[in-house]
Chains A and B, each alone.
Chain A
């Protein structure tokens, strides 16, 4: 007896789908997860990988089957069957991808929301409540055109001293958002990116460091600004990346979950030494982090010391 083609197709389809799901569940292509949004990201990756595997294996299988089954035999001069289209079939393969991409889009939107990407970052809300610095463009509007280039040339701490000269006219700065899900007790850290280094400053303890040290389990709110060209802050183990853009202070939050040392990589071409623009993020246990703060905090924290503090990294 012959097995009906429709039955074979059904069985092959089920094997393909189950196989794709199995591969998606067992795929291991990503680095270790070390932040609270990394497992969420990895779940999305598994779903995308499953769908991708099913589609890719399906299409490739059909292609190779056709090339073998319908290859022209030597001496055959004939034509294939003259089928110019099949409306139900064409509707089917328009509808299925549409449903799949719609599902993927909605699912990734949900993932993104869980990662905090959809948090409405009120564009004119200051991060620390007070206006610690102004957007460069606002400097211009105050007739201080020469101060803006000066700001770019001077040190990371100098922006606050420079801006302190603006008497009482400070408006809340405009802050752009990346992933931002921090709760109230987030550890604030200020990141200044320049050719070719990341400088981290802890406003609470006046530490300035070339490495990022953070405690495990506590949200970190990173306020980023570039001094010269565009850089990007990327920690592969956190599954997070944010461009650090001159003239556009940006806030991103994350919660480290796994103690260890992970690379911070600049991901935006920033000049000849772009490939060497790397440092580390060290995720400490809570006590170790407090010890690190005690060891490195300047004796008399003040704005003067902060401006002069050399990077320790």
Chain B
């Protein structure tokens, strides 16, 4: 192929070296890492906010911060964790880094749109956080139900809406890019059913984003009209209807759960086969179950509204639809278990976090099917049972996968391995802290503790304190990770191009990869999971022949 001369190709407009991570870079790998690091900074902020909440709840009376501040903190915690940490990292972060590799492309379909999508996030995040210091942040929770969101101080709520609109726009731009890249930039000869599973997960997720996020944007614009211009869309005093807002809000925000977990499903599908040295079990059913989750995910939103006076037929329909999501989800979990079965499993940090994901998500899925049942939900809706449930899904599920993915792909990002002992310490602290924090909350909800309260029945003190200690452990658990990531970037063991002896295309280039991903032609990988075949059939230039993290030098 023709290669442009280095001078004309590496124009001076694009900064080189570390500066490019602070620039309007068009390189999908730089943008992916920009998403990942920015998201992690917001994770630390959101975690600090969670720490404030758990400190307040260590005692049954409201004694740590004012009640208004408490509501601002819980609103910011939810918004930051969802819109600035999980969604950007599992979609924008890993999606941008991996998808062009997986389809055999040199970059995303629309590199400038990609950079624009990323650069909408820092201003939106700064806007959101600064509202706390300037005018007081929004106080109505991340759900922003009217009339509460109309009657609480307007400045914070309007800033919240602006921020979420920016983040939603960024998410839509990213999704359009992923759909175009997966469908249009595939190497000639690479069929859809030969793509790594993460491509399918991102395709499904992006379809959800494109279909549902505009609904949220429209809803929030109407809400801002109610606040600023005193219209009456959702204001019952002016003839509006508050339940309509809930329908529109959850039409986005339930699919948002799948926008957060489907990419995680995809990442796990990449990590497990490599560390178990086995093909991904049931590729075809995995693909169809992703599409099934996408379809069902769009028609279950009203299960968040079983106590809102919805008509009986609606409750019945949404119960059945929600329960049936367990079927495609169950297929994926059984397939992962079958992938592990009979493998040669390396119990490294990436594998431990992935298995903990399975453990947590199965638990959260079981409580989720229970919550889909109207009579069960009527008792525990808006209680700590639900808080426990969704943290098992989004933290125990997705965030554990993000950690697994960091341990798995760090050698590709930097060319150096993460320290395995620190990784296991990180895993142990996170696993114990997480379960100590969120398991007791199920009991609290069943026995009468509502969510979003700054004060509670003193009978619940002990379990709340246990939960707070768990949160403290989770806070401590970020220290080994931070130290590991920074130390290993300079002093970590050199990884070589393919320390895991993997077959997916991102490993078939140098670590870190060159600007256009491969020096020569891109490899055409028809079977990304062809482990378990005789070694002489695997064409792997970079395979070291030595084992794993312990001595992965090539």
Contacts and interface: CB of A to CB of B under 8 A. Distances in A.
Interface in A225-257: 228-230, 232, 234, 236, 239-243, 245-248, 250
Contacts of B453: 274-275
B376 A41 contact: yes
Interface string B255-286: 00000000000000000000011111111110
B237 A80 contact: no
Chain A interface main SS type: mixed
A303 interface: no
A71 B342 contact: no
Contacts of B531: 79-80, 82
Contacts of A273: 67
A250 B335 contact: no
A90 interface: yes
A3 interface: no
Given A136-B236, A245-B243, A63 B375 contact: no
Contacts, number: 305
B340 A63 contact: yes
B309 A90 contact: no
Nearest to B326: A101
Contact of B148 (A84, A240, A269): A269
A48 interface: yes
B86 to A, nearest CB: 22
A240 B62 CA distance: 27
A85 to B, nearest CB: 4
A272 interface: yes
A184 interface: no
Given A98-B324, A104-B373, A266-B450, A250 B239 contact: no
A75 interface: yes
Nearest to B501: A77
B446 interface: yes
Contacts of B187: none
Contacts of B145: 229-230, 268-269
B363 A105 contact: no
B486 interface: no
A152 interface: yes
Contacts of B320: 105
Interface stretch (B16-24, B89-97, B378-386, B415-423): B378-386
Contacts of B529: 84
Interface stretch (A110-118, A161-169, A212-220, A286-294): A110-118
Contacts of B450: 232, 234, 265-267, 274-275
B337 A59 contact: yes
B347 A179 contact: no
Contacts of B545: 77
B236 A247 contact: yes
A268 B378 CA distance: 13
Contact of B547 (A40, A77, A111): A77
Interface in B102-160: 139-141, 143, 145, 147-148, 151-152
A156 interface: no
Interface string A22-54: 000000011100000100110011001001100
Interface stretch (B30-38, B174-182, B206-214, B354-362): B354-362
A158 to B, nearest CB: 15
A140 B139 CA distance: 30
B309 A101 contact: no
B507 to A, nearest CB: 16
Contacts of B530: 82
B277 A78 contact: yes
Interface string A102-130: 10110011011001011111010000000
B510 interface: no
B209 to A, nearest CB: 27
B448 interface: yes
B330 interface: yes
Contacts of A105: 319-320, 323, 373
Interface string A173-206: 0001111000000000000000000000000000
A79 B532 contact: yes
B231 interface: no
B448 A236 contact: yes
B452 interface: yes
Contact of A90 (B285, B457, B533): B285
Nearest to B379: A239
Most buried by A among B237, B383, B531: B237
A190 B215 CA distance: 36
A6 interface: no
Contacts of A48: 369-370, 373, 376
B381 A267 contact: yes
Given A105-B320, A177-B309, A275-B456, A59 B362 contact: yes
9 contacts: A45-B376, A70-B342, A72-B346, A82-B531, A101-B324, A112-B374, A246-B242, A247-B242, A272-B71
Interface of B: 62, 66-68, 70-71, 139-141, 143, 145, 147-148, 151-152, 236-243, 276-285, 307-309, 311-312, 315-316, 319-320, 323-324, 326-327, 330-331, 333-335, 337-338, 340-347, 355, 358-359, 362-363, 366-367, 369-370, 373-376, 378-379, 381-383, 443, 446-448, 450-457, 529-533, 535, 545, 547
Given A29-B443, A97-B331, 13 more contacts: A31-B446, A37-B375, A60-B359, A66-B345, A67-B340, A80-B344, A81-B278, A177-B311, A228-B147, A241-B381, A247-B240, A270-B148, A271-B152
What are the 10 A-B residue pairs with the smallest beta carbon separation, nearest first? Answer: A247-B236, A82-B532, A275-B453, A176-B309, A80-B343, A272-B67, A108-B373, A236-B448, A80-B278, A275-B455
Interface of A: 29-31, 37, 40-41, 44-45, 48, 51-52, 55-56, 59-60, 62-63, 66-67, 70-72, 75-86, 89-90, 93-94, 97-98, 101-102, 104-105, 108-109, 111-112, 115, 117-121, 123, 136-137, 140, 148-149, 152, 176-179, 228-230, 232, 234, 236, 239-243, 245-248, 250, 263, 265-276
